[in-house]
Amino acid sequence: MDPILDVIVIGGGQSGLACGYYLRRHKVNFLILDKEEKCGGAWLHAWDSLTLFSPAEHSSLPGWLMPKSKNLFPLKQEVINYLCQYEKRYELPIERTVTVENITFENKVFTVHTTKGIYFSKTIIAAAGTWSNPFIPKILGIDTFKGLQVHSADYKNANQFTNMKVLVVGEGNSGAQIVAEVSKEAKVKWSTRKPPQYLPDEVDGFYLFNVATAKYNAEKEGKPFNAANYDLGNIVMVPPVKEARSRGGLVSSGGFQSMYENGVIWTDGTTEDFDAIIWCTGFGFATSFLKNIVSTDERGIVKTEESKATEIPGLWLAGYGSWSGYASATLIGINRNAKQTCSEIASYLQTN
């Protein structure tokens, strides 16, 4: 029988690396399984012009600051380079091109079934994130549309949309950024369920993290909190979005009720043809490999207390967002989540 590890971490992106940092400090026997062919996690699949929302010094994993960028916000490739250097710096044990298909649990041991064989572990940290589980709403008539449909998870740049008529759907940051970019190459309309809301120009991701942290702490203590009317879900005014605003490129056409083979039917009943639709409608959570050991809702959420699963001992989930650890889906936020998770695992291993 193969050796039984103390911990298997599923996912070699930013969350998995942060957990690896703390697991090494606890001196446990662990392995990170990553389905990607190379380092970089979900950033490998992001669109070409994507940047962080915060300066490098406020966007770091535990132990080592991200090198400063010549840009205000580090570029996609700079983030990938940092993640690759980080795992080498801390000599994290990672096996790549390993996709976890299923997990079973018996006699306090997890059996992890993968595309490269079976692994055994006393505990599991699921850290697979969201990027591999894009969400597109079930719009009436969506299957009849004959044009191109792309989710933001698969969008790379505006080149494939040159001279097309494009509808971008979604009022969040990805929607605003992709509208800003594609509108330089194509005729674009922007569909949002509600009017887009923008943060003040001076507000970046680090400021939002601090505001959200203060809100989180106040709520835990049962105290009132005033975030200066900043909705933490509003659009961050990164440079491309500011540029699009200056040329009048950020105008919402509102919502639509259904689709037909050539386009959409707006809420007022009028029809409009489009060559392509880009869905900036978010993601579910990549937790399907846990289906045999815990229950999940339709988005993939697992019941947890912070990052610890409540249905089964020995399972933790890191980096999925607020339900698995406050602000854990961000580079700066995963630090606290990973530190607490790995501390709990070390304690668990001592008593089991």
Residue 328: what are its φ and ψ, rounded to 5°? -75, -10
The pLDDT value recorded for residue 4 is 97
Q: How confident is the model at residue 233 (pLDDT cuts 50, 70, 90)?
A: low
Q: What is the dihedral of CA 292, 100, 133, 259, to 10 degrees?
A: -80
Identity of the amino acid at 62: P
Specify the pLDDT at position 180: 96
Please, are residues 122 and 109 in contact by the beta-carbon 8 Å criterion? yes
For residues 141-156, average pLDDT: 97
| pLDDT exceeds cutoff 80 at 79 | yes
Same domain, 259 and 313: no
Mean pLDDT of 68-90: 95
Report, as an integer, the average pLDDT of 95-124.
97
CATH number at 105 reads 3.50.50.60
Three-state SS for 243-256 is HHHHCCCCCECCCE
Cβ count near 32 (within 10 Å) = 25
pLDDT at residue 147 in the model: 97
Residue ending a domain, among 219, 247, 279, is 279
191-223: pLDDT as tens digits? 999 998 887 777 766 666 666 666 556 566 666
Please tell me the least confidently modeled range out of 21-25, 70-74, 205-209.
205-209
- Per DSSP, which regions of 45-152 are E strands? 94-96, 100-106, 109-114, 117-126, 148-151
Residues 114 and 154 in one domain: no
Same domain as 321, residue 272: no
**Locus of tokens 């940051």:** 173
Which DSSP string do the residues of 85-107 spell out, in sequence order?
HHHHHTT--EEES--EEEEEEET
Place of tokens 């854990």: 328
Residue length of the chain: 352
Residues 51 and 90 in one domain: yes
Contact 287, 170 (CB under 8 A): no
Q: What is the pTM of this model?
A: 0.90
- Give Rg (Cα) of the chain: 21
CA distances from 169 to 95, 305, 342 (A): 37, 34, 39
Q: Which distant-in-sequence residues (6+ apart) come within 8 Å of 13 by Cβ?
A: 34, 40, 41, 42, 43, 83, 127, 129, 319
If asked whether residues 257 and 151 sit together in one domain, one would say yes
Q: What's the whole-number mean pLDDT along residues 330-351?
A: 93
- pLDDT averaged over the chain? 91
Please list, in sequence order, all residues whose beta carbon lies within 8 angstroms of the beta carbon of residue 112, skipping any fewer than 6 positions away.
Answer: 8, 10, 33, 100, 103, 118, 119, 120, 121, 124
Residue 74 domain-assigned? yes
Residues 6+ apart with CB under 8 A from 337: 15, 18, 306, 307, 318, 319, 324, 325, 326, 327, 328
Lowest mean pLDDT among 40-44, 144-148, 242-246, 267-271: 242-246
Tokens of 268: 């007022």
The range of the structural domain enclosing residue 60 comes to 4-133+283-351
Is the pLDDT reported for residue 326 higher than 90? no
Starting at the earlier edge strand, list the strands of the sheet with 263-266.
256-260, 263-266, 271-273
- Assigned domain for 222 exists: no
Query: How sure is the predictor about 57, in pLDDT bands with cuts at 50, 70 and 90?
Result: confident
In the predicted structure, residue 184 carries a pLDDT above the cut 70: yes
Is 205 inside any structural domain?
Answer: no
Beta strands in 152-288 (DSSP E): 165-169, 187-191, 256-260, 263-266, 271-273, 276-279
CA angle 312, 11, 320 (to 5 degrees): 65
What is the mean predicted confidence (pLDDT) over 239-268? 94
Pair 274, 295 in one domain: no
Checking if the pLDDT of 239 tops 90, the result is no
| 232 pLDDT more than 60 | no
pLDDT of residue 209: 61
Contacts of residue 240, defined as CB under 8 A and 6 or more positions apart, other chains included, come to: 49, 177, 180, 181
Q: What percent of the chain has pLDDT over 90?
A: 78
My answer on whether 65 and 114 are in the same domain is: yes
- Greater model confidence, 343 or 329: 343
In a domain, 37, yes or no: yes
Mean pLDDT of the region 133-138: 94
What's residue 178's pLDDT?
Answer: 97
CA atoms within 13 A on the CB side of 312: 24
Domains: count for the chain: 2
pLDDT score of 234: 79
pLDDT at 42 over 60: yes
**Domain's final residue, options 254, 279, 304:** 279
In terms of domains, do 184 and 157 share one? yes
> Same structural domain for residues 93 and 166?
no
Q: Is residue 216 part of a domain?
A: no
Which residues, at least 6 apart from 54, have a Cβ–Cβ distance to it below 8 Å? 73, 204, 205, 206, 209, 332
